[in-house]
């Protein structure tokens, strides 16, 4: 099997490539950086420039499945101009892939795309499964809704489409975790707001394994990419401090303070989504890190 991966050089993409190679799956990948082009027997890079509608269509040769991970980071101040980049980096790239497949009559059997649990409205009491139809009215809710709609447009081309709604990704060298623990290392760690907001998290290794499992088992539809045991922000903060053997002596950081520092992006710290993993488990996927503490010990130990 040969799979085309967009976003293969990013935090999660790199883990997916490793997992593909461990499973004997060949990887083609798209990159906007010519310096990142590589050609090996099981790993071949192709250049694209979505801003200018450019793509090397040979990336699709021999490919039957696509893992779509492309998208500008949301962990950057949300100016009006950057909001546009966040949205278009997800929707315009899907359109470019679809137009290229159509133009050159490539046959793609399945597309597995990243999505996000930010589509679910914030709630301290709801337990979100994939059949929930409510959509968050936040900027993130709008982005995910339009992103998923753009990905669904692979269906008329004959592909099965699966969307994996990703939670808080825990990784050693990127994402939110290094930022969460940075102040703790100086004895300045604290939870945010009430600390009661739910954090549906997943270890990056499990997330990569889930994407590969999805292509191996021909997933179709919406799936939550979260570990089975979400925690609230207080628990996350206390567990990280405990693993680092650091005290937590400061009061919780109020919402208004983070709004001053981060602007609209502060909602990333205060939104609450308790999300179910039962559907992927029902498909036979097993988590290596089902509980928070072992995940943190692996990443921070």
Owner of token pair 């200018």: 52
Residue 86 lies in a domain: yes
Residue 267 lies in a domain: no
pLDDT tens, position by position, 228-245: 999 999 999 999 999 999
Rounded Cα–Cα distance for residues 171 and 124 (Å)? 25
Does the pTM surpass 0.85? The reply is yes
Q: How many domains does the chain have?
A: 1
Residue 186 lies in a domain: no
Task: Locate 234 and state its tokens.
Answer: 């207080």
Residue 87 lies in a domain: yes
DSSP summary character for residue 275: B
Rounded Cα–Cα distance for residues 135 and 281 (Å)? 24
Q: What is the pLDDT along the chain (301 residues), one digit of tens a residue?
A: 999 999 999 999 999 999 999 999 999 999 999 999 989 989 999 999 999 999 999 999 999 999 999 999 998 899 999 999 999 999 999 999 999 999 999 999 999 999 999 999 999 999 999 999 999 999 999 999 999 999 999 999 999 999 999 999 999 998 889 989 999 998 889 999 999 999 999 999 999 999 999 999 999 999 999 999 999 999 999 999 999 999 998 999 999 998 998 899 899 889 999 999 999 999 999 999 999 999 999 999 8
Residue 79 lies in a domain: yes
Angle between helices 292-300 and 233-244 (to 10 degrees): 40
Backbone angles phi, psi at 140, to 5 degrees: -65, -40
User: Rg (Cα) of the chain, in Å, rounded?
Assistant: 19
Residue 185 lies in a domain: no
Residue 157 lies in a domain: yes
Assign residue 53 the CATH number of its domain.
3.40.50.720
Range(s) of the domain holding residue 117: 2-169+201-226
Q: What is the per-residue pLDDT for 187? A: 87
**C-alpha distance from residue 7 to each of 13, 69, 288 (Å):** 6, 5, 24
Residue 284 lies in a domain: no
């Amino acid at each position: 099997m040969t799979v085309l991966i967009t976003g293969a050089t990013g935090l999660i993409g790199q883990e997916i490539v490793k997992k593909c190679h461990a499973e004997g799956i060949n990887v083609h990948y798209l990159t906007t950086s010519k310096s990142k082009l590589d050609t090996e027997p099981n790993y071949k890079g192709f250049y694209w420039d979505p801003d200018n509608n450019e793509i090397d269509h040979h990336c699709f040769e021999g490919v039957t499945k696509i893992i779509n991970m492309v998208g500008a980071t949301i962990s950057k101040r949300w100016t009006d101009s950057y909001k546009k980049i966040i949205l278009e980096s997800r929707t315009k790239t899907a359109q470019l892939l679809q137009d290229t497949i159509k133009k050159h009559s490539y046959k793609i059997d399945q597309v597995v795309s990243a999505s996000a649990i930010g589509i679910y409205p914030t709630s301290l009491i709801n337990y979100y499964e994939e059949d929930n139809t409510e959509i968050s009215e936040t900027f993130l809710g709008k982005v995910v809704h339009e992103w998923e709609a753009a990905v669904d447009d692979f269906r008329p081309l004959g592909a099965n489409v699966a969307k994996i709604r990703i939670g808080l990704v825990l990784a050693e060298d990127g994402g939110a975790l290094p930022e969460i623990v940075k102040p703790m290392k100086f004895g300045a760690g604290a939870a945010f707001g009430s600390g009661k907001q739910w954090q549906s998290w997943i270890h990056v290794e499990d997330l990569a394994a889930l994407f590969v499992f999805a292509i191996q088992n021909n997933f179709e539809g919406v799936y939550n990419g979260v570990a089975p045991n979400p925690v609230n922000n207080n628990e996350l903060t206390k567990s990280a401090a405990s693993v680092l053997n650091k005290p937590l002596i400061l009061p919780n950081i109020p919402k208004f303070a983070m709004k001053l520092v981060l602007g609209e992006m502060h909602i990333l710290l205060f939104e609450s989504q308790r999300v179910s993993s039962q559907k992927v488990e029902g498909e036979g996927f097993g988590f290596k890190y089902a509980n928070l503490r072992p995940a943190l010990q692996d990443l921070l130990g």
